[in-house]
């Protein structure tokens, strides 16, 4: 599982990274403190370790920004020891709070506990975020993001984008998409699919994604 570390103390960040690597976690450390949200989206981690005192904006700010895109668990790590900071970390969307200095064993134990509560190891982990090049599809919010622009999708548009982005640069047949769209209270015909795809294309055009969904005559659709 990927763990993303947001800590400006490079020595501490490296120490945490080495510790977690020994436990077979894949660890990435933040590089640009002015662009944390994009780095998190690119990594799409299963857990985030977040300091409060950071350059540019504090950890509370970045936690609230990340929560706009991901429900990933966030553990705050900080030298602040007053109750208000702990309360604030929870109110801003944090899942736990560890005070510095801390034992590596305690950190690992807390990480393991949160991962067990959050994810089922007996089922395939499914992400709320699908990325393709500069495009991000947020399943929970039903929104698609491209270069700081966003567009809200209907239920059917979301399903179409989801299956296309899960099959990046591969042709998806019309029958596969119709099956994905099928609902117990709604019949999806060939014409209904065409209408939905055309409506989706118009929405994508508004954020600069012209010709993103291509038609392969007699085969289906593909994104490139």
How does pLDDT run across 56-89, given as a tens digit for each residue? 888 999 998 898 888 889 999 988 877 888 888 8
In this prediction, residue 70 carries a pLDDT of 84
Q: Note whether 195 and 214 are same-domain residues.
A: yes
Q: Is position 123 within any domain?
A: no
In this prediction, residue 28 carries a pLDDT of 94
Domain boundary among 52, 84, 118: 118
Q: Note whether 103 and 32 are same-domain residues.
A: yes
> Residue 224's closest CA among 160, 165, 149?
165
pLDDT in tens, 171-181: 999 888 888 77
In this prediction, residue 124 carries a pLDDT of 44
pLDDT confidence band for 48 (50 / 70 / 90) = very high
The mean pLDDT of 8-12, rounded to a whole number, is 92
The mean pLDDT of 168-193, rounded to a whole number, is 76
pLDDT confidence band for 222 (50 / 70 / 90) = very high
Q: Is position 71 within any domain?
A: yes
In this prediction, residue 94 carries a pLDDT of 87
Distance of CA 89 to the CA centre of its chain: 20
Give the whole-angstrom CA distance, residue 186 versus residue 10.
Answer: 55
The CATH number given to whatever domain includes residue 219 is 1.10.10.10
Q: Note whether 184 and 96 are same-domain residues.
A: no
The CATH number given to whatever domain includes residue 48 is 3.40.50.2300
Q: What percent of the chain has pLDDT over 70?
A: 93
- Number of domain units in the chain: 2
CB of 209 closer than 8 Å to CB of 135 = yes
In this prediction, residue 122 carries a pLDDT of 37
Q: Note whether 92 and 186 are same-domain residues.
A: no
For the cut 90, the answer to whether the pLDDT of residue 17 exceeds it is: yes
Extract the tokens encoding 185: 């209270």
For the cut 50, the answer to whether the pLDDT of residue 185 exceeds it is: no
**Between the ranges 99-103, 178-182, 205-209, where is the mean pLDDT highest?**
205-209
Q: Is position 52 within any domain?
A: yes
Give the whole-angstrom CA distance, residue 198 versus residue 112.
Answer: 45
Q: Note whether 6 and 109 are same-domain residues.
A: yes
In this prediction, residue 1 carries a pLDDT of 65
Domain boundary among 67, 99, 118: 118
Q: Is position 174 within any domain?
A: yes
For the cut 60, the answer to whether the pLDDT of residue 135 exceeds it is: yes
Q: Note whether 141 and 193 are same-domain residues.
A: yes
Query: Model's pTM, two decimal places?
Result: 0.55
Q: Note whether 76 and 136 are same-domain residues.
A: no
Q: Is position 171 within any domain?
A: yes
In this prediction, residue 27 carries a pLDDT of 94
Which residues have C-beta within 8 Å of that of residue 201, sequence separation ≥ 6? Answer: 212, 213
Q: Note whether 141 and 211 are same-domain residues.
A: yes
Domain that holds residue 163: 129-223
CB of 26 closer than 8 Å to CB of 1 = yes
CB of 163 closer than 8 Å to CB of 180 = yes
For the cut 50, the answer to whether the pLDDT of residue 184 exceeds it is: no
Q: Note whether 113 and 11 are same-domain residues.
A: yes
Q: Note whether 74 and 155 are same-domain residues.
A: no
Average pLDDT, the chain: 86
Q: Note whether 138 and 169 are same-domain residues.
A: yes
């Amino acid at each position: 599982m990927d763990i993303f570390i947001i800590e400006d103390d490079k020595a501490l960040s490296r120490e945490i990274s080495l510790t977690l690597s020994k436990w077979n976690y894949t660890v990435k450390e933040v590089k640009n403190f002015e662009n944390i949200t994009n780095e998190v989206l690119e990594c799409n981690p299963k857990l985030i370790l977040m300091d409060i005192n950071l350059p540019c904006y504090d950890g509370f700010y970045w936690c609230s920004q990340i929560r706009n895109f991901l429900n990933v668990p966030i553990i705050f790590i900080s030298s602040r020891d007053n109750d208000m900071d702990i309360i604030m970390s929870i109110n801003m969307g944090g899942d736990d709070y560890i005070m510095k200095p801390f034992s590596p064993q305690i950190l690992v134990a807390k990480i393991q506990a949160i991962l067990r509560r959050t994810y089922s190891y007996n089922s395939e982990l499914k992400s709320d975020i699908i990325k393709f090049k500069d495009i991000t599809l947020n399943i929970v919010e039903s929104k698609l993001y491209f270069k700081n622009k966003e567009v809200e999708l209907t239920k059917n548009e979301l399903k179409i984008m989801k299956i296309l982005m899960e099959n990046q640069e591969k042709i998806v047949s019309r029958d596969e998409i119709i099956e994905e769209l099928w609902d117990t209270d709604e019949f999806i015909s060939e014409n209904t699919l065409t209408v939905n795809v055309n409506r989706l294309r118009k929405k994508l055009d508004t954020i600069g994604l012209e010709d993103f969904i291509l038609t392969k005559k007699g085969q289906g659709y593909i994104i490139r």
